[in-house]
Structure 1
Amino acid sequence: MARRAPRQNGARTRTQRRPRPDNDGLIQVLAKVVREVESAVQRGHASPSTRTKFQVVALLMREERARVKADETKAAARRTEDLKRLDGIATILATTAARDASLLGLLADDAVISDRARSLRRELLEAAGIEVPHEPAEAPEPAEPTAAEQRRVVPQSVVSRQLANPFLPPDYSAVAVRTAKPRRLAGWELIEPLLRSFEAGGTSSCMDLPDPTSTGVTGGLHLMPHQAQVVAAAAEGHRTFLLADEPGLGKTAQALLAAEAANAYPLLVVVPNVVKMNWAREARLWTPRHPATVVYGDGETIDGFADIIIVNYEVLDRHVGWLGDLGLRGMVVDEAHYIKNRKSQRSQNVLHLSERIRERTANPLVMALTGTPLINDIEDFTAIWQLLGWIDETKPVGELMAALEETGLTPADRGFLAAARAAVIDRGIVRRRKVDVAADLPARRVADVPVEIDGEAGRSIRAAEQSLARRLVDRYERTLEARHGGEVIEGIDHGLVRQVAAWERASKSTKKSDENVFTMMRRIGQAKAGLAADYAAQLARSAGKVVFFAKHIDVMDTAEETFAKRGIRYASIRGDQTAAARQKHIDAFTHDPDVAVVVCSLTAAGVGLNLQIASNLVLAELSWTDAEQTQAIDRVHRIGQGEPVTAWRIIAAQTLDTRIAELIDSKAGLAARALDGADTEIVDSADVQLEALVALLEDALREREHAQAS
């Protein structure tokens, strides 16, 4: 290889990089890059750029080793030292390849050397001070696939389908219906007013639905009237729905039969992992003439010719490619609040597919199903509206924009919010409450059961709360003093309180020995686990079957140990179960009269279960949202329930548990006001963890003021 000659640019010109003797600089460069590769693979992140670095370092290491061994001008001791260092680089490459065997393919004789690899080779050689002659330009290669694209697969059955019918039937509806361009509203910010129109409240949020001509379906089954209304709307040509019925009102059946009425096949159904099998069972029940297939892993077992493809969020990234090319005519997204963060990969996959469907079919059926579309903020609506094609990232589009134009109003006009709310609802918001459409459904209530945590566990929790409060007070006082230079300030600076709480909530530097709001709640859950299980055991003996919900595995373990000691048979539903094991436990609880309790993970069993065989449930740990708590309760309070439902919420008295329960209850007003027309005030959108820290700090400051005054 030719070496650079030093440039003579005068005394005041900055020093140019000089080549290191005997290519010592190249070995240093390779050692640095190979450590970067090793670190990335150890973290499980063998990205395309990491793979390119691995290949280039290995090739340069081979070349340099051959050059050093053939260099007769180099002293033997120096040559031995360089070879030893190169052996060290080779060892790191070998151990790294042992962690990720796919890297070995990059070293094969027939391995492709991409343009990016050639470019990186030049960069590393030049960084080592080695002149590299320019190579003649070659035709550009395709861009190296991203990590997400590398994970994508095409199941063999889908390939067979494509070979059997290589050309999708022409869909002349893909010539989209053109809507008039905005005139009067051009330039107005409209997304924020649309959101505020729901925040302001109003009448119940439900579009006008047609009266069904029949409630009967294939196989002698019957829908409830409110379910048949949605199916009738789809039959009449309505194609976008935010189906936000309260949990337990049969949204799955409505979606499947709406797709049948719209002939929206192939139909994609995106669901949480825990309800995939339930959707397959429901499809066989309600639409038996349309075969359904469930996607697992890379999809080796799916039926590529099925009408209904059911896939969970977690594996969707592998299948986005072929699903986007399948010619889908319908899409159902279950638990659609899962996509509220539009920046997440999960949301991006779902939104990409919905947009792909609209590109191919002008009027596809797209349905978002969720009984809890709003978790913390009114902004939770935006991702769902984008999924349905009502808005894009910046503005309303299509029929919604046309409807806003037809109002003749702008956001500056009085009455715009009410008109805007009505325009959005008419696009397809369907919200019915149990009390309105299922009058025969029995009442439900949430009853708090305070328990005292005694002994060492109780003392430890109280001491930990005091330690957390002291840390917050210390930070508050230090900040207050820095701001006011020691000047005495009367009262509590509530703005500073919130700022300190936010710092604590976001802090990553807290010592492991210090408590935070998450560890506090977990410790409280562990301490009351046995008490909650005892209460559930008493209920089981006196009132029949009981559903027991907990957040953490150790709490579930403690509960199951307690039931075993009491001689109470139980089933268990956890997130790490296979679909077959999960269904076995559900069937045992539902059909075996001797199985008195089912112990459920709040996250794994909070959706997609029908447990109305019981009318009592115990919430052993508090959730961070009212929505999660409501989802759990509605596993029992749903169509088919014949008894009044009571959710017994176990609260650790005189701890942070009590404050968290109050905050969760205050959050329940969001959906009530935005969707149900209730007058409940919406609390600030800050999360419950932040509000809990604010309350803890303010209580501590008041106690300090009271102590100083006395």
Structure 2
Amino acid sequence: MSNTLTPEQKRKIEENRLKALARRAERLAQGNPQPLQNDLFSSKQQQHASSPTPQAANNDYFGNALPIPNRHFPTNEPQTSGPSASSKPPEVKPDASKGTFKANSFYGQNQGLTAQPSDKKTPKPPDTSSAGPAKKPTVSVRGKCVPHTEERFRVEVGYHAELIAVFKNIPSRNYDPVTKMWNFSLEHYKLLMEEAAAIPFVTLKALEGMEGLEISASSSRPKDAAALAALMKLCQGWQKPGAMVKGKCTLISRSRLEVDIGYHADVIGIFKQMPSKNYDMKTRKWSFLLEDYGRLLEALNDISAVEIEPLPRAVLQAFSSQFEQSHSKAAEVPEADLSAVDSTLTRSLMPFQQYGVNFAVSREGRLLLADDMGLGKTVQAICIAAYYRKEWPLLIVTPSSVRFTWAEAFRRWLPSVAADRINVVVKGKDSLRSGLVNIVSYDLLGKVDKQHLANPFGVLIMDESHFLKNIKTARCKAALPLLKAAKRVVLLSGTPAMSRPAELYTQILAVRPTLFPRFHDFGARYCDAKQLPWGWDYSGSSNLTELKLLLEESLMLRRLKSEVLSQLPAKQRKVVTVTTDGINARTKAALSAAAKELANGRHNVSLELNCGVYLCMSSLREYISDMLECGREKFLVFAHHKKVLDSISKELTDKGVNYIRIDGSTPSAERQQLCERFQFTHQSCVALLSITAANMGLTLHAADLVVFAELFWNPGILIQAEDRVHRIGQTSCVDIHYLVAKGTADDYLWPMIQEKMNVLEQVGLSESNISDKAECSSFHSKDPKQQTITEMFQRSFSEEDMDESVLLEAVNDWEDSEHTNSRPQENHFSASPSKKRRIEDYFSK
């Protein structure tokens, strides 16, 4: 088939093109107040032939249109001659249905408009400066609330992105894919209407029978939602492509905003008219109270040569009450009723921890608790979860190394929860919903059964929530559906963002999805987004003061140790239970022999230490790795055996972590150099120390965390090792973490240490917090809140009833099953001997 057009096809194409040009001329003539003469194209063109401006304007209207030939528009349609026909423009009638003017159709009418010779120049459009082009009307969305069931209502409304984001933030939401409508519980009717009223151009008709309900906002929303809607409308369409001067508004405090803009006389004049104006001579910027923001922005928008970027929508929502009347201090957080929570827990809360629980309740159980490390985020989270106990089951997602630590914490602080109702997920095949309290690691979260999505958890705790910083990771993809479905979400992290603001977005999305439904809006405002040839770069940072204020007002609570130091004890000790996964039959046999000798009193300390630590080497390394990932820049790790020190050294080297090591082989001349390197480096650094070789004579107070990877039989040595950090020059509370392997010789070593401490304390020769130097006594004075090391040991093990009879019973069970479906691990033991060997043979180096 030939692709050449026939003459008839060419003729029709030309006619259609000319008809289109004629119709465009009719539309342009619509805005011309003068009569359209028959020489519209030729006379106007000749009149302005010498002016380049009309020709340039003409190009904007017609683009690449071809010149009009010297003949009538359609040759096959009748034409009317005479003055009346040639001098009158096409009749224009209003279209009542659309509220705009519409030209009559070109087809089927006796039109007298003809094209005159134009010397092959594009005709100039009529002057429309007086009338201007019609603005596109703002699209508004209207809907209504109707009954759904006896206790629920549904919203019948068209699609609106911001409104859908509000729907997803309502706790009782439910989407019906059949009707494609959302329904909610009646108890959240007022909340939904308040949120929807704050969205510009969205109107929802009240539910029948609730028309008289006053839709007033909470402390974070304005009393008059219409004022917020008007303010948001004022912030729309602020871009002005032809603006000569550009600036932006940023929040600098809870009550004031700052305008960063170049010099413009009219702008300065407006600034001086504002009642709350203030000029900073250092920054050379003007600031104003938030209550003047509306008047200021309205006045600046009237200057065509000035473009001002307004405050983002999230700031308007979070500080809505401030735009009516500015207050420098935040409203007091009401005290929560914790009468239903176990008294064991509520009596143990420090004042700042009590405030953290109150803050969470005031935010309806959705917050990011970003307290500094060592301030008891775990205790606060357990109390918050207990407050919403009626909404359980509870899910806790945590690093794998502290799963059992969370289980121990629940058994200790919530004795009303039976131990068999606490479910720790150990394998991917384990059920995630078999307990009232369910604990799972980030790694296993994506491997467990997906049936939990159909029946979501009511309360969700995400420990170390900065693990979700990358939305593309498997752990984040597995967690986000749970976070969206949960009614209460508590995120815990001492370092929510490790390096850049972009890492905060997923956590903000989990707690308050309506703040920034789109990541680009967040990135453009706070990540200094730049468009590069290959895409957008969000690795920067900008407007950080505003971001901090926004987070604190809407979802985040963060306290540093320096702020609550007066409420803290000098030292905070924590017993961390580590697992001994993968114990094979031969290992169990060795433990059986060790337990028998321990029960008979014939124990060897070095063997006990070997027995406990060699079985949990992987857990020790994993725990130290978690500390590094959690943002601990400097901390001490004490161990006793060379094999343990070597194993940790290898782990740090493989991860590229900067560290120092001091053990018995370190020359005395190098010790001080290593200590100074640790003290004054600005990089992350770990001090790997031998308990016996580095427990005295060293000052390492640049750190505030001490981790004991192994126990030692002498408690005085442990206290001396703690005081490498807790000494003159330390300005923070010191955290002491003892890693203990249950089911090993550690269970006997703790009581032995306790007995030795009791003997020393009875004769007044030892205290848990006594200093090794007299001049430090004022700094290390006995704190009434500080627990003695004896009390800590007693509390940790008295509940376990690990007496000799229980251990010997376990030994018998182990011996009966030592040959059942277990494969020896090469790294622990050699081949099975032909005759029975003593315990020393199993643990000899």
Q: Is TM more than 0.5 here?
A: no
TM-score by length of 1: 0.36
> When the two structures are superposed, what TM-score results if normalisation uses the length of structure 2?
0.31
- For the pair shown, the structure with the greater C-alpha radius of gyration is 2
Larger RCO, structure (CA 8 Å, separation 6 or more): 1
Structure with bigger strand share is 2
